[in-house]
Chain A
C-alpha cells in the first residue's frame, strides 16, 4: 500500500513538470523573395509553414471543393495562363457565367485588396468567396468541409499544417492563402531591365539575360514610362507593375458594372476598378474587368485612341483631350514588345505551383 502511494506521488510529480506544448509543430516556410522586392507582410494569425503551403497547393487543385466535384480553383486560375481563365467569363458548375473576367494570381502577397472591386481586404477573406458562390463552385462550406473530413489523408494533412485535429473553412482558406503567397513572379526579362535601370545588383543569370534585351524592348520600356509617350507608369509601375488604387481608365461613358462604387456607394467610385498588375500580361488574355479586349493590340489601341470621358475618369489619363496617347503603328509595336518582356516562364512552369496529383 505504502509503495503504491509512493509510485503515485512520483507519477504525479513526473506528469506535473512536463513542459506544456511538447509534441508536433509544423515547420516554418522560408519565402524566396527576389532581391529587388519589398518584404512581404505575413498576417500574424497565419504564419507560413511547409505543411500549410503543401496543403494549400493540394486544396487549390481540389475538385471536392465544388458542389459536383468537377471544379477547382485552378479551373478558373490555370497555371499556363498565369493562373487566370482564358475565357472572357468563367462558367461555374451550374453553367452560369458571371460578368467579370477572372484575375491572374501573381505576387498577391504584396497586395492590400482583392477582386476587381476590392471587396476583400485579405487573401484569407477573399478565398472564402468562390466556394459558396452560386456562379462559381456553388457548395456550402459545411458540405465542402464534410467532404474533406471524410478523407483520412486530408485529416492528417490538416493536422500536420495546423498542429491540431479538425478541419474548418478558416483552415482551408488559411492553407490556400499560404500557397498563394508563395506564388511569386520576379524572373522575367523585365526584372533584369528594372534592376539594370535602377543600379541594383544583377545575378550571374541576370548578366546573361541582359545582352538579350533588344533595342526594341528598351525603346518600348522608354515609351511605357514616358509622360509624352505611352504614359502608362502612373498606374502600372515598380517591381509589382501596378499601384494600389482603384481607377477608371476611360473605357465607358456610363457604367453597367459600378466596380468600386458598388461596394462603397460613393458616386466618385463609380466605374473604378482595381489597377491590375501587368506581370505575365501576354499570358492572361482577355483583358479588363469584363474581358472586353481579346488581345494586347486592342488594349494598346484603347489607350492610344479609344479613351472615353466620364465623371470619374482618372485625372491621370492625361491625354483624354486627344482620346489617348496617339501612338503610331511603330510605337504600338514597340510598346507591345515591352509588354511581352513581363512574361516569367519560370513562374508559370514552376513545378512547386502545379497540381500535386494524387
Chain B
C-alpha cells in the first residue's frame, strides 16, 4: 500500500508537470526602426533650458520652453514615416520620434513644420492615446478658440538691461499656430547612422542663436516678445515659425 501511494504521488507530480501547455512564444520578429533626435544648441554649443546665453544685442536670455510639431513626414514617393512628432525639450529631452522603417526607404523626408491642415482641425481627443496629437500628449499645444494646434511654443525670460545685475523680468512668449503659418519642411541626402542591429538614428540640431538671427530675419526680443498668432501679429508670427524651421538642421 505504501508503495502504491508513492507511485500515486509520483504520478500526480509527473502529470502536473507534463501536461502544462507550452507557453506560446511571444517574441515578435525584429523590425527595422528609425529614430530622430534633436539637440538644441546656441551656436555650436549644446543648450539647456534655463541656461543663460547672450543675444547679439547683448541681452541675457534663458529659454524656458521649446516645443514644436513636425507632421506628415514622408519620403519623396509619398511613403509615410510618421504622422506626427512633437519635440518637447522640457519633458522628452532630445527625443523626437521612433518609427518602424528602413533607412533605404527614407533618404529624404518631406512634411510640415506645424500641424498639417488636414489634421489641424480634427477632434484632439479622437487620436490614439500614443499619437502626439492626442490631447493628453498635446496638453497645452492646442487652442480651443482657434480651434487647432499650436505649432510651436518658444518661451524665455530675458534681462534686457546690460548692467551686470541679474533681473530676468522680461518675458518672451511665442505661440504660433493657424493654417496660414504652416511651413513646408524637408531634408534630403539623409545619412542614417546605425545605432544597433535594427535601429538607425538621425541626429538633428536646433540652433536657437540662428532662431534669433536668421540672416537678415532677426528677432529682437526686447521689442518683439509676444505672439499668439492674432491679427496684428502676422509679421512676427511668420518670422518666428520660419526662423525656427531654418534653425533645424543635421547635427
Residues of A within 8 A of B (CB): 1, 4-5, 8-9, 11-13, 15-17, 20, 36-39, 41, 110, 194, 197-198, 200, 225-227, 233-235, 237-240, 243-245, 268, 309, 311, 315-316, 318
Contact = CB atoms under 8 A, between A and B. Distances in A.
Contacts of A39: 128-129
A322 to B, nearest CB: 14
Contacts of A8: 4, 7-8, 11
Given A8-B11, A225-B144, A268-B64, 4 more contacts: A8-B7, A16-B18, A41-B129, A227-B230
Contacts of B124: 38, 238
Contacts of B20: 20
Interface in B125-178: 125-126, 128-129, 134-136, 139-140, 142-145, 147, 155, 157, 168-169, 171-173
A243 B139 contact: yes
Contacts of B32: none
Contacts of B180: none
The prevalent SS among residues of A at the interface is loop
Given A198-B147, A239-B125, A315-B173, A15 B15 contact: yes
Given A225-B144, A225-B145, A268-B50, A38 B135 contact: yes
Contacts of A240: 135
Contact of B123 (A4, A200, A235, A245): A200
Given A16-B16, A16-B18, A16-B19, A237 B123 contact: no
B171 A315 contact: yes
B251 interface: no
B136 A110 contact: yes
A16 B9 CA distance: 12
A315 B12 contact: no
Interface in B11-62: 11-12, 14-16, 18-20, 50
Contacts of A12: 8, 11-12, 14-15
Contacts of B169: 309
A198 B128 CA distance: 19
A158 B205 CA distance: 54
B139 A244 contact: yes
Nearest to B136: A38
B102 interface: no
Given A39-B129, A41-B136, A243-B139, A13 B15 contact: yes
